[in-house]
Amino acid sequence: MRKTKLTPERQQKFLNCLAESGNVSLSAKLAGTSRVRVYALRRSDPAFKQAWDEAEEIAADRLEEEARRRAVEGFDEPLVSGGKLVQDAAGHVVTVRRYSDALLLALLRAHRPERFGKRLSAEPGISGSAVSVDVRTMLLAKLAQLAGDAEAQPRPLPEDHAEPHAPAPAASSAEDA
């Protein structure tokens, strides 16, 4: 394999491709270099490392934009029935507008973890630690505990209220008939 110098032009091409794709291997290939060479330059050149980090941020922003578009605006998906594309009378493929609830929830968790995160901290001020508790499990355990407590303790009647008695059946007489 012929060694190709990682010229400033190739560095820029790598960074542009990385910002577009977010893929180091593909970007190195398109820039005419190798992963080994770009990683070596990243370790030795702080300016290149900073440019690389910025390119990855751009790629991540592009992914987030696409996730938001699919979650909020939706996307057209071809309608398939019996393994075949459904077509209208004019022969055009029929599409259905789909939205991604999974992407919407992922975005909400990323931007509002305190409200939409799956895990909450057991102690204020501690996040992402081993002390995390699954809220659903915690609530189910508390409900089970409350149900057990309710069954174990009989409910006393208030002392000032006597237990209601059923009214005595009325005596029937010949006059009532």
| Residue showing tokens 């070596």 | 40
pLDDT at residue 159, rounded to an integer: 61
3 shares its domain with 59 = yes
- Do the domain assignments include residue 136? yes
- Calculate mean pLDDT across residues 82-97: 94
- Check whether residue 4 and residue 58 sit in a common domain: yes
Task: Report the chain's mean pLDDT, rounded to a whole number.
Answer: 81
- CB atoms closer than 10 angstroms to residue 140: 11
Q: What is the mean pLDDT of residues 83-108?
A: 92
DSSP track, 73-118: I-EEEE-EETTEE-B-TTSPBPEEEE--HHHHHHHHHHH-HHHH-S
Query: Averaged over 20-49, what is the pLDDT?
Result: 96
What is the predicted pLDDT for the residue at 76?
94
Average pLDDT over residues 16-40: 96
Same domain, 33 and 20: yes
Residue percentage of the chain with pLDDT more than 90? 52
- Domain range for residue 14? 1-63
- Tens of pLDDT, residues 134-173: 677 777 777 777 777 666 666 666 565 555 555 555 555 5
Count CB-CB contacts under 10 A for residue 81.
8
pLDDT tens digit sequence for 99-134: 998 888 888 888 888 888 875 444 555 454 444 556
Give me 11's structure tokens: 């560095």
| 159 vs 72, more confident | 72
Considering only residues 132 and 29, tell me which one the structure prediction assigns the higher pLDDT: 29
Q: Which residues contact 23 (CB under 8 A, 6 or more apart)?
A: 17
DSSP3 helix / strand / coil % (the chain, rounded to 5): 50, 10, 40
- The verdict on residue 69 lying in a domain is no
The number of distinct structural domains making up the chain is 3
Q: Is residue 158 part of a domain?
A: no
Is 160 within a domain? no
The more confidently predicted of residues 152 and 56 is: 56
- Same structural domain, 7 and 41: yes
119 three-state secondary structure: strand
Residue of 25 and 108 predicted with greater confidence: 25
For 20, residues 6+ apart whose C-beta sits below 8 A from its C-beta are 59, 62
Within 10 A of 33 (CB to CB), how many other CB atoms are there?
21
Q: 114: closest CA among 99, 100, 93, 128? A: 128
Whether residue 1 is contained in a domain is answered as yes
Q: Sorting pLDDT into bands at 50, 70 and 90, what band is 18?
A: very high
> What's the token pair of residue 62?
């592009």
